[in-house]
Amino acid sequence: MKDKPLPVFEIYAVVGDVYFEVEQFDPPIIVKPLESIQVQTKPYSRLSLQTGKFEPSFIPSENIGLYLVLDRKVVKCKMVSHPYTNVIPALKKYRIAVKETATFNGQVYNEDSTYAIIYRVNSETKTAIVDRSGFICRNWNFWFNTTPKEHLKSESDLGNYLETVEFNKAAEWFKVQALN
């Protein structure tokens, strides 16, 4: 196996007694002998089990196992035909967590996100996400990136705050939308 290219169809992570899909590839990615690759994964909002939300602890990293689904077998990674996940023998002893992805205007957000700021600059409409601590992220390149918590009580409170910091002068227009 060390001298042959490996087609990788999926990558799974195991944390405790739960496994979940890290990424799926179609077509598969090819790992060449004596080479390494970097995988950019798609964002997701949370992991869910049948019993509710799954919040894995990724620290320490020794608690995480990674598995590659190859064309004929599943290989556990050392840390430093296409099988389906419910029939992978190496993972049967684990419970599966399923990724859930919530998006608003193409921006991935999670349950910590409270508002979206939709705005237009240079004839381009953008969306930023505000979390419950007031941090503003995604498509946000302005002179401030936080909002005081007292201005997060409602859409209008946040909108009024943005006007007091003169965001309305930097944007052609803006709107605040509640999430969750």
pLDDT tens, position by position, 76-119: 988 763 345 445 667 778 888 888 999 999 999 999 999 999 99
Rg over alpha carbons for the chain, rounded to the nearest Å, is 21
**Which pLDDT score is estimated for 111?**
92
Task: For residue 30, give the nearest of 4, 56, 54 by alpha carbon.
Answer: 4
**Which pLDDT score is estimated for 89?**
67
Q: Count CB-CB contacts under 10 A for residue 91.
A: 20
Strand partners, 115: 130, 178
Q: Count CB-CB contacts under 10 A for residue 22.
A: 18
Tell me the two tokens of residue 33: 């002998």
Q: Taking the model in full, what pTM does it have?
A: 0.58
Which pLDDT tens digits describe the chain residue by residue (180 residues)? 567 888 999 999 998 889 999 999 999 999 888 888 888 888 888 899 988 888 887 666 667 889 999 998 999 988 763 345 445 667 778 888 888 999 999 999 999 999 999 999 999 999 999 999 999 998 999 989 999 999 999 999 999 999 999 999 999 999 999 997
**Which pLDDT score is estimated for 64?**
85
Give the SS3 label for residue 111.
coil
**Which pLDDT score is estimated for 62?**
65
Residue 112 in contact with residue 118, Cβ under 8 Å? no
**Which pLDDT score is estimated for 86?**
46
- d(C-alpha 17, C-alpha 91), whole Å: 9
